Each structure stands twice: as C-alpha cells, then as structure tokens.
A and B are shown apart, each in its own frame.
Chain A
Amino acid sequence: MGTTASQLDKGMLSEYQELTFLTKQEILLAYKRFSELLPKEETNGLSYRIPMNAILELPELKTNPFNKRICMVFSTSDSHDGSLSFDDFLDLLSAFSDSATLEIKSHYAFRIFDFDDDGTLGRQDLEKLVNCLTGGTVDTSLTPEEMKQLIDNILEESDIDKDGTVNLSEFQHVISRSPDFVSSFKIVL
C-alpha cells in the first residue's frame, strides 16, 4: 500500500474528498483497484485511460446489464469509446455510493437509460431497456405485443405532458416517489 499512497498525494486526496461522496478509505481502495487494471509499464495512473473492456472485467460491473452504458456515460474521452480515467472512475463510484443524493442518482440513471443520447427516453430507449432487463436471450424476452403493452403502460404512468417520451423532470418525478431506488442504485467496491 505504500507505493499506491505515495502516488495519490494528500492534496489530491483531500480534494477528491471534497468533490465526491466517498470517504478516504473508499478513494484509496478505488485507486488500488484502478491501478490493478493499469498495464505494467504505465506509472502515472492519474492520466491514463483504461479501455472499456478492461473496466467491464471488474466483478461489480461484469454482470450488470447496463455496464456498457455506464462506461459510456461516465467516460470523458474524446473518442467516445467508453474508456475511463481515474477521475471518471471516481465520478462513477461517487454517483453510485451510499451517500449520494437522490438528485445525483436520478440524473445519472436517466443518462444511463437514454440509449440514443437524445435527452429523452423514447420508445426505442424503453424497448432496449426492457430487453436489457430481461436478459436478452430468446426465451426470456417479451413478445412484441407484450412489449407494446408494457411501454404503453409506462408512458401512460410517467409521461405527464403526453409527448410520447419521458424527459428528465418526469423521470425524476417518478423516481423520487420510489422507495427502492436509492437502495438498489448502489455499487460498492
């Protein structure tokens, strides 16, 4: 642990504590896990970008149906390839941590569910969402009629301005009433 701590100096550590919802131990643990994914010759962990398929090997993300979307949403790389730097990784952990507020979590949840990145959840987004949730294999997915029925029901419940899509404020309105959301939208290293 001596080498990792020396690469993450005290100033950066206290800044990260101000900027995220993570405690000191969690940040150090995140740094340790992040460095394990770095290739051997790379010494400066803070600026390197780890490619998406390496991130997806983490056990916490491996079985998650939204893992690719999560990487894409939190990635700040210019080539939009889903690679994460250490800052992005901390952003991810902070949004998914226990102490993050409902607003942060619902904001990021909306971005994750927005598969085509157009700022609203349209029918295609919702269809893709349902397919992710049911596992994507042939025998567990829904028939087209069931899918249509389901999406109609959802839009009826959440689409207040009846424009056929769910925008951020409608989404947040629905999510804020849910008692399970905050406790299930959590990832802990």
Chain B
Amino acid sequence: MSEGEMARLMEEVEEKKKLIATIRNKPWRMKRRLVLLREAQQFVDKFEGALGKGKGRKWYAYKVMMTKKWIKFQRDFENFRTACIPWERKIKEVESHFGSSVASYFIFLRWMYGMNLVLFGLTFGLVVMPEVLMGLPYGSIPRKTVPRAEQDTAQDYSVLMDFNGYCKYSVLFYGYYNNQRTIGLLKFRLPLAYLMVGLGTFGYSLMLVIRTMAKNADVGGGDGDEGEFTFAWKMFTSWDYLIGNAETADNKYASITTSFKESIVDEQENQKDENIHLRRFLRVLANFLITCSLGGSGYLIYFVVKRSQEFANRDDLSWYEKNELELIMSLLGLVCPPLFETIAELEDYHPRIALKWQLGRIFALFLGNLYTFLFALFDEVNTKVLNSIGRMFEYYANFSLPVNDSDATPPPMDPGDVILGPCWETAVGIEFVKLTVSDIQVTYLTILIGDFARAVIVRFLNYCWCWDLEAGFPSYGEFDISGNVLGLVFNQGMIWMGAFYAPGLVGINVLRLLSSMYYQCWAVMATNVPHERVFKASKSNNFYMGLLLLVLFLSLLPVVYTIMSLPPSFDCGPFSGKEKMFDVIMETIDLDLPAFMGTLFSYAANPGLIIPAVLLMVLAIYYLNSTSEAYQNANMELKKKMQMARDEEKNRRNNTDSTNQVMKDLEDLLPNRSLAPPALPEPG
C-alpha cells in the first residue's frame, strides 16, 4: 500500500472511531445506531491491523492497544464511581414525591458530606493520628494532663458536656498537641503538618467550590435575560419529569395553572400604578424595621458574650447560664427569619423578588451574628493574651519549665501539678465546638417539634376539632429549602473557622451531616407536604455555591489573622514557644530544606518582586475582561446574522421543500416512504 493510501485509510479509521465515540449523541433509532456501530467497529478492527505494516508498526499496534485499554478502564471507573455514590435511592424517592427543588437540598447536603469527609481524612491522617501514635501519651506533660484541681470532676457528665475535663485535654483541641519539631522514628514534623493542614483545608475547599461552580455554570447555558422567553419556558420546561407521585402531580398541575393565569394577568396589568407613594413608604418602613432587628440581634449577642466572660469567673452556674450564648445564637437564627417574612408582607413584592430579599436578609443576619460573636470572642482572647504575657514572666521566674522536646528528663513535678497559662486557642476551639453542638441540637429539636409534633397534632386532633386542621390553619409543614440551605452554609463557615483550633470539629461535623441526611430524609417524607407554590429561583445552584464561596473567604480572614499576628500561647499547642505561628515555616526552610531554597524564598518575599507580580495579575485580569467583552460582541453579531439567514430561508421556503431540516427528520421517522416528490420517468 502506498503512503497516500495509508494516510487516507488512517483518516477513515479515525473518522469511524469518532463516529463510535459520538454515536450516542445522534437522535436516531437504536436499531440504526446498532447497525452503524457494528459496521464501524468491523471496519476499524479490519483495517487497524492492515495499517500496522511498515515503519513504526509495533509502536502503532501498542498505541492502539493502550487506547482500547484506557477507554475500557475509563468506562469501568465511571461505573464504579457511580456505584459508590451513596443515598441515590433515598434522594430519588424524595425527588419523586417533592420535585427536584427539594431534592436539590439533599444533593447539596451529600456534596457537603463528601467535602467534609475529605477534610476529616486530611486532619485525621496528618495531624491526629501522628500525635496519638508517635507523640507523648496522655499524662506525660503538663499540657496533656488534667490539672490536679480539676481531676475530681474531670469525668463528670456535665463537665464533659461542656467540653471541659478530659475532653479539653484530648486530641480534640489545639492545646493537646506538643511542639516538638519532629516526633517518632519517622521524624514527622507535627507543627508544620498542623499549619499546612489548617491552610490546606481552606485551599481544598476553595478549589472544590470553584470547580463545582464552573461545572454548574456550564450546564446553565450562560445568562438568559430573565424576561426573554417567559411564556415559552413556562410551557416547555415547567413540568418536572421526576415526579412519580399522584399528589405531587396534582399540586404541580395547580401551580402551573396558577402561574399561567398570573402571567397572563401580569402582562395586562403591567401599567397599573396604584398608590406608589404608599408603597414606597411601606417599603422604607419595612427596611427600617428589619435593620433595627438586625442591629438588635447583633447587640444582644455582644451583650451575652460579655456576660459569659463574667460567668467564666464564677463557679455556681445553672445549666442555662452555662449555655446561654449558644442558646441565644441558635434561637436568633430560628426566630428572626419568620419575623422578616412577616415584616416583608408590608412590601408587596412579586414572590420571586421577595424571596431574594428574604434570602439576602437572612444572610445578613447570620453574617452579623457570626462576626459579632467573633469580635466579642477575640476581645476575650486579647485579654487572655495580655494576661498570659504577665504570667509568662512570673512563670519563668518561679519554675523551670521544659518547653522543648524532652524524652530524657522528666519534669521535677507531677504534670498535674504544673500551673498552665490560659490557653486561648483551646478556649476558642471549645467555644466553636459548643456552638456547633448547640446548633445541631436546636436544628434537630426544631424539626421534631415544628414538623413532627405538628403533623401528629394535625393528624390526630383533626377528628375532634371545629375547623379542618389539615386544610386550614396549621396544616402540614412545607420543607423550607432556603432556610435549610443557608443553615448548612453557615454551619460549614463555623467549621472552617473552628477547625484550626479544634481538629476534632471536622469529625463532629461529618457525624452531624451523616445523621442529618437520614433524619431529614425521614422527616421530609413523613411530615412534609409538597409545596403549593412551586417556583424555582432558577439559577439557584450557583447562587448557593456563590454564598458558600463568600462564607469561605469570610471564615478564612479570622484564621489567617490569628496565624499572622497573634502570638501563640507559650505552653500549649504545637506552636508554643514561638513568636508567631508561621515561624514554623521559617524554621523548616532554615533547617530542613537545602540552603539554596532558603535564599530563593528570601528573594521571593522581596517587595521588589511581589509588586510587579501583582501588577501582572491586574493586567491579566484586564486583558481577560476585554477578550470576554469582544467575544460577547461577536456573539451578538452572529445572532444577527442567524436572524437574517432565517428571514432569507423563509423567503426561499416556497421553492425548495426537500432541503428543509424538518422534512429530513420526518424522513427519518418513516424510512420507507420518501416525502420528496417522485422523479419524473426518464424519456425513452
């Protein structure tokens, strides 16, 4: 075979291979596709062997075999991956009863669970396990021992519930970790690992969120202008094909009818002015009331945190006083959203716009609460740090404390007797853990009372009540998608903030998400009814992801601030004895890495290098922005061209029928009857 023929054959083989890869994209009948597939595969098999003659034969055959194996491996891996995804059945059941919008919450929950599982694996494998396996055991050094004074009560249930006692001096919290530079036979650098895992948590979460956002943006098909195809979309895309339950289907019918009627009326009513001044006044009033309540809730939290600092000095606290802070924060998160909704009735917005306002307000509420809590907490931390500096001097004056690695000389006194300085990081960690736990408790209790008890009451009291409880006042609850999603997002924010000070927090969160999945699935199926009013905040997937991204950045700030500027406690945690936490990196560069890396890093940290790098990034952003604008303009031009082409086509339509795309499709449906006009018989 000549070179030219071989090249042509190779091309044909490539074409057939491409056909095989894309055959599932063609809207043909299975039989036709099967026939084509078999044909193409036979062709490829037959000629691939023939092509293997001449130079590079072995290499070509090898390449072909590897490609085949790779494709098969990919397909098996995809199958395996889909089989591993948990809870498919559960979510499908929820989907068929409640439609895809409620199910999207559970899909989000599952995604969060996956992310937290990876974070847990990182923390557990790189920080907790090495300390447990290779570090000093409990009771060997002061930071790992319960102080003598607390030892009697250290096992009490109430003390453990507060995360004091044995809990406080365990791997759960920052204070337990020793600051030895390397531990064990493998010379594992624990402080470095601790810092890297802390920062790596954020890095991984960031990468995952952005990747998911990019994937969602792809499917969404770019921004369609909201009002462009309202009626057509309502017609063609409003039915949810996942619905498998008659009651849900009836609800869907009703809501579609309502939305049709509404939009028809909307079109006619667009000019209605009404009393615009009254409306404006009411809106301003509503916003003012809501700002007041947001301010009020922020102040309440600040006040309660200050009170809890006073409580810390007393010993005789009732259960309420001990848990006041967490209770107040969770209750605020529970009471304010319905309050906002009631106030928002004054505003009289279209429901979709009202939902956006509501979401924005709840977001502001959670954010305000979280940051007030943080500021109050850091106030406390600063006090502790100032105290501890004083104590540090007093300390060194009176005791000789072995701060660094010591496997040889035990301290002169029993570890339980050594007085420890205030360990502010553990205190912060304890606060976050308590907050998370109380948040979990409040959420579960709300579902139990607000949904389950309500359903039981409505179902059983209905027999002996004056009005129809099921149709009238309380009736069954609807699943609050936005409230639950926001709760999840903010819970994750708290985890991100607290994970640096309490490595056990991620494990607690994994357990929480796991139990939440089962509990909420059960609750939704047993006690909720499908929404009456179904409308999707259409690009809501990316909206919640964007919220998560924002919360990620906001929770990154406090942690990075502490790493960079606050001095670590001098006698607890993996960074004790250092001036700043990131000194551990400097130490590693100096001692562990070869000399030239140190000089490299010192050059890289030079402002003379960093400022041009920042400028370069700004220029890159500007360039990409202008390219994307150019693409958008090109898009517009192409659309106009398409429009003109269609007009031309319409004019030529009367002349050439058989070239019409639609006719081609029909021919496909009825392969035996050709719709083209029969050819005239040949003369002669």
Contacts and interface: CB of A to CB of B under 8 A. Distances in A.
A19 B249 CA distance: 32
Interface string A62-82: 111110000000001000000
Contact of A176 (B100, B221, B245, B536): B221
B661 A169 contact: yes
Given A23-B79, A154-B235, A171-B236, 16 more contacts: A15-B34, A19-B33, A19-B34, A23-B82, A59-B96, A60-B96, A62-B246, A63-B243, A87-B34, A117-B669, A126-B235, A140-B254, A142-B260, A157-B228, A160-B643, A167-B662
B264 A24 contact: no
Interface in B245-264: 245-246, 248-250, 253-254, 256-257, 260-261, 264
A106 B522 CA distance: 35
Nearest to A176: B221
Contacts of B229: 157-158, 174, 177-178
Most chain A beta-carbon neighbours within 10 Å: one of B237, B238, B650 = B237
9 contacts: A76-B31, A91-B29, A91-B30, A109-B236, A130-B260, A134-B253, A134-B257, A153-B231, A178-B236
Contact of A178 (B38, B233, B264): B233
Nearest to A26: B82
A149 interface: yes
Contacts of B79: 23-25
B257 to A, nearest CB: 4
Contacts of B221: 102, 176-179
A180 B233 contact: yes
A33 interface: no
A60 B351 CA distance: 31
Interface string A130-167: 10011100001110001001100110011011110001
Given A19-B34, A130-B260, A184 B665 contact: no
Contact of A23 (B78, B646, B662): B78
B647 to A, nearest CB: 7
Interface residues of A, number: 74
A188 interface: yes
B231 to A, nearest CB: 4
Nearest to B99: A184
A129 interface: yes
Contacts of B264: 146, 149-150, 153
A31 interface: no
B650 A161 contact: yes
A183 interface: yes
Interface string B64-91: 0000000000010011001100000000
Nearest to B253: A135
Contacts of A162: 650
A17 B256 CA distance: 37
B474 interface: no
A179 B222 CA distance: 8
A159 to B, nearest CB: 10
Interface string B27-46: 10111011001100000000
B374 to A, nearest CB: 36
Describe B's contact surface by its main secondary structure: helix
Contact of A59 (B239, B244, B643, B662): B244
A142 B259 CA distance: 11
Contact of A168 (B220, B224, B267, B665): B665
Contacts of A168: 661-662, 665
A156 B539 CA distance: 25
B25 interface: yes
Contacts of B31: 76, 87
B94 to A, nearest CB: 12
B606 interface: no
Contacts of B663: 119
Contacts of B254: 135, 140
Interface string B9-32: 000000000001001110101110
Given A167-B662, A168-B662, A19 B236 contact: no
B92 interface: yes
Nearest to A101: B25
B666 interface: yes
Contacts of B33: 19
A152 B228 CA distance: 15
Interface residues of B, number: 69
B27 A20 contact: no
A104 B27 contact: yes
Contacts of A161: 646-647, 649-650
A101 B23 CA distance: 12
Contacts of A21: 24
B632 interface: no
A88 B662 CA distance: 22
A140 B250 CA distance: 10
Nearest to A88: B30
Nearest to A61: B244
A184 B237 contact: yes
A78 B647 CA distance: 38
Contacts of B7: none
A76 B32 CA distance: 11
Interface in A6-55: 15, 17-21, 23-25
B538 interface: yes
B231 A154 contact: yes
Nearest to A184: B240
A116 to B, nearest CB: 12
A185 B75 contact: no
B116 to A, nearest CB: 24
Contacts of B242: 184, 186-188
Contacts of A140: 253-254, 257
A149 B75 CA distance: 50
Contacts of A88: 30
Contact of B239 (A23, A95, A104, A184): A184
Contacts of A186: 100, 241-242
B507 to A, nearest CB: 31
Contacts of B646: 160-161
B275 interface: no
Interface string B525-566: 000000000001011000000000000000000000000000
A24 B80 CA distance: 9
A133 B253 contact: yes
Contacts of A64: 239, 241, 243, 249
Contacts of B20: 18
Contacts of B666: 119
A65 B37 contact: no
B666 to A, nearest CB: 5
A174 B663 CA distance: 21
